[in-house]
């Protein structure tokens, strides 16, 4: 596995800096989202005493975030030290888990940096345990010391890559096992518009609209995603395959940015630095000690330990709910409080061309509401396309921001504060404004048909017209 490196004997500080940059971005964003959700009373789960205290006390949460950032950059700028890396990892874990408990939502895209840090620390521990000794007895003590330090980072790098590969491989496995062939163009179509406003008339939105209107294009993108994520394990085999799959993964993330507006700069940074031959391109390659060789037995032990570490990381990650988050998140069959079931109905009929509704259609269905409109005593600041099984309408008022979600009514689901025919309106945010704004929005919804496309995405291909 160490032979698959593209960094040779070059200094790996840029790789540690990349991990620190990505993890710092995650740390700041997750800390901000935790404070935002707690401030708006958006807690979805009982966080317990530890995470509840971290989420509720602004100064404590900020102190943990700052300590985490400090540990990350000490890890990045100093020679690899598993103690510093472990400290940063523990603090980052607190940030991740506090956000998950406070918001009730897992963000898988925020975990690649943490996974890379786990792999780096595991690789560093493996290197420390092996204490690699060159087989060539003619090497000088200085050469042996240089060799040990560099090979230490080579093993740490291999551990980080193995952890990153485990993330992508588990993402692919969850799609195959949780959704099977249902993970196809339908979900890609939903994803294309999930993060866009209904009135987005930009050039990128027109590209997404074109893709969604041609069923073979979402199918092609879905198939390509599965192939790239499944084949990511080949990155561990050779330097050439790591470079090839690095290009494919970066292309996949850039495609998501261009078509769906999903920007994951930290993922692109990590994959690009770890999987592309930057020392060669920048002419910064360093030659290794020419007189030193490594025993075959040591090489075999290194490979067995690293493959074992990769398998252990994959098994541990498989136990976490992250593995199904993205698969279930955009499935048409989910209800607001039941994400464990995915429809097993034949999927090809649902794959007929479905043009997402245009902004005027959605506004008409919402009783003419648009961004800037008044709802009761609040102002609408955002209206989404179908996202997470619902249309989202964000309303800002005197007590803060309230997110209203229009779902199809679900028998046996959590009682909705407001309903309109086959639709249910839920809210997140202020308990003072949320219920009455939900009722005000429900009063604006027509009891007849949803606009073409929206009804198909909400209710399925045979239920385009729904009513009382």
Question: Residue 261 corresponds to which tokens in the numbers above?
Answer: 């507006």
pLDDT of residue 34: 78
Mean pLDDT over each residue of the chain, to the nearest integer: 73
Cα–Cα distance between 72 and 433 in angstroms, integer? Answer: 41
pLDDT at 324 over 50: no
State the pLDDT at residue 453: 58
Strand partners, 405: 392, 426
pLDDT(319) > 60: no
Using CB atoms within 10 Å of the CB of residue 116, give its burial: 0 to 12 exposed, 13 to 18 middle, 19+ buried.
buried
pLDDT of residue 214: 77
Least reliable range by pLDDT among 109-113, 240-244, 416-420: 109-113
Q: Is the pLDDT of residue 187 over 80?
A: no
pLDDT value of position 119: 87
Q: In this structure, what token pair is assigned to residue 115?
A: 């996974």
**35, 60 Cβ separation under 8 angstroms:** no
Q: How confident is the model at residue 328 (pLDDT cuts 50, 70, 90)?
A: very low
Residue 345 to residues 181, 223, 224: CA-CA distances in angstroms? 11, 20, 23
Task: Write out the H or E segment, with its range, that includes residue 428.
Answer: strand 423-428
**DSSP letter string over 415-426?**
PPSEEETTEEEE
pLDDT above 80 (res 88): yes
Least confident window among 275-289, 399-413, 445-459: 445-459
In tens, the pLDDT along 16-43 reads 999 999 999 988 888 887 776 665 554 4
Residues contacting residue 415 through CB under 8 Å, at least 6 positions apart:
none
Structure tokens at 287: 């030659």
pLDDT band of residue 302 (cuts 50, 70, 90) is low
| CB 367 within 8 Å of CB 445 | yes
458 vs 64 pLDDT, higher one: 64
Is residue 50 scored above 50 in pLDDT? yes
Residues constituting the chain: 468
Across the strands, what pairs with 392?
405
Please give the model's pTM, rounded to 2 decimal places. 0.71
Q: Cβ distance 308 to 39 under 8 Å?
A: no
374 CB neighbour count, 10 Å cutoff: 12
129-133, Cβ contacts within 8 angstroms, sequence gap of 24 or more: 129/305, 130/155, 130/298, 130/301, 130/302, 130/305, 132/294, 132/298, 132/302, 133/298
Q: What is the mean pLDDT of residues 177-200?
A: 66
pLDDT value, residue 461: 45
Least confident range from 65-79, 199-213, 418-432: namely 199-213
Task: Answer with the residue of higher pLDDT: 43 or 343.
Answer: 43
Q: With 70 as the cut, is the pLDDT of residue 172 above it?
A: yes
The three-state secondary structure class of 223 is: helix
Residues contacting residue 186 through CB under 8 Å, at least 6 positions apart = 218, 332, 347, 350, 351
- Give how far Cα 177 sits from Cα of 36, 227, 254, 358, Å: 35, 15, 26, 34
Of the listed ranges 10-14, 232-236, 421-425, 463-467, the least confidently predicted one is 463-467
**Considering only CA atoms, which of 336, 369, 334, 400 is closest in space to residue 198?**
369
pLDDT of amino acid 421: 77
Q: Which residue has the higher pLDDT, 35 or 179?
A: 35
Rounded CA separation 292/142 (Å): 12
Determine the pLDDT at residue 181.
52
- Residue 259 confidence (pLDDT) above 50: yes
* Mean of pLDDT values over 410-427: 75
Per-residue pLDDT, 238: 85
49-74: burial string, b at 16+ Cβ within 10 Å, e else: eebbebbeeeeebeebbeebbebbbe
pLDDT over 50 at 463, yes or no: no
Whether the pLDDT of residue 244 is over 90: the answer is yes
Distance CA 326, CA 175 (A): 9
Q: How far apart are CA 50 and CA 59, in angstroms?
A: 14
pLDDT tens for 368-407 read 888 888 998 899 998 887 766 678 899 998 878 888 888 8
Cβ contacts of 116 within 8 Å, gap of 6 or more: 19, 22, 160, 163, 164, 270, 274
User: Per-residue pLDDT for 72 more than 90?
Assistant: yes
The whole-number average pLDDT for the span 435-460 is 71
Identify the pLDDT of residue 249.
94
Pairwise CA distance, residues 421 & 451, whole Å: 15
* pLDDT of 224: 85
Residue 333 CA to chain centroid, in angstroms? 21
* Cα three-residue angle 253-259-262, rounded to 5 degrees: 55
Q: pLDDT-based confidence at 177, cuts 50/70/90?
A: confident
As a whole number of Å, the CA-based R_g of the chain is 25
For tokens 């940074």, name the residue.
Answer: 269
Token pair for 183: 């993970």
**d(Cα 90, Cα 95) in Å, to the nearest integer?**
9
């Amino acid at each position: 596995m160490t032979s698959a490196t593209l960094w040779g004997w070059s200094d790996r500080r840029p790789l540690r800096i990349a991990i620190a940059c990505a993890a710092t971005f995650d740390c700041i964003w997750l800390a901000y989202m935790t404070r935002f959700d707690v401030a708006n009373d958006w807690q979805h789960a009982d966080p317990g005493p530890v995470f509840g205290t971290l989420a509720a006390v602004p100064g404590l949460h900020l102190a943990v975030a700052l300590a985490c950032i400090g540990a990350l950059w000490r890890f990045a700028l100093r020679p690899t030290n598993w103690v510093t890396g472990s400290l940063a990892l523990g603090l980052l874990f607190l940030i991740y888990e506090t956000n998950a408990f406070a918001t009730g939502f897992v963000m898988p895209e925020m975990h690649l940096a943490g996974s890379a840090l786990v792999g780096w620390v595991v690789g560093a521990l493996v290197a420390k345990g092996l204490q690699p000794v060159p087989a060539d007895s003619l090497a000088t003590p200085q050469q042996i010391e240089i060799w040990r330090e560099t090979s230490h980072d080579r093993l740490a790098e291999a551990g980080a890559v193995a952890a990153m590969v485990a993330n992508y491989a588990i993402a692919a496995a969850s799609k195959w096992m949780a959704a099977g062939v249902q993970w196809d163009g339908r979900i890609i179509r939903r994803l294309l518009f999930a993060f866009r406003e209904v009135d987005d008339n930009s050039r990128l939105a027109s590209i997404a609209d074109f893709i969604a209107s041609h069923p073979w294009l979402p199918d092609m993108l879905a198939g390509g995603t599965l192939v790239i994520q499944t084949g990511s394990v080949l990155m561990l085999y050779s330097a050439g395959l790591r470079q090839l799959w690095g290009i494919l993964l970066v292309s996949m993330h850039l495609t998501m940015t261009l078509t769906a507006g999903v920007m994951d700069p930290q993922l692109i940074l990590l994959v690009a630095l770890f999987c592309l031959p930057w020392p060669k391109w920048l002419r910064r390659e360093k030659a290794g000690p020419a007189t030193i060789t490594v025993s075959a037995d040591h090489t075999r032990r290194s490979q067995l330990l690293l493959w074992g570490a990769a398998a252990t990381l994959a098994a541990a990650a498989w136990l976490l709910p992250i593995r199904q988050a993205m698969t279930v998140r955009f499935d048409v069959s989910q209800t607001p409080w039941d994400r464990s079931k995915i429809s097993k109905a034949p999927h090809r009929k649902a794959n007929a061309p479905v043009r997402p509704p245009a902004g005027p259609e959605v506004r008409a269905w919402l009783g003419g509401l648009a961004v800037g409109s008044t709802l009761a005593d609040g102002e609408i600041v955002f209206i989404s396309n179908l996202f997470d099984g619902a249309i989202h309408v964000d309303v800002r008022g005197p007590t803060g921001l309230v997110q209203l979600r229009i779902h199809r009514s679900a028998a046996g689901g959590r009682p909705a504060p407001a309903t309109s025919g086959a639709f249910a309106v839920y809210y997140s945010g202020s308990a003072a404004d949320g219920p009455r704004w939900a009722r005000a929005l429900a009063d604006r919804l027509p009891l007849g048909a949803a606009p073409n496309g929206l009804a198909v995405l909400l209710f399925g291909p045979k239920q385009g017209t729904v009513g009382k």
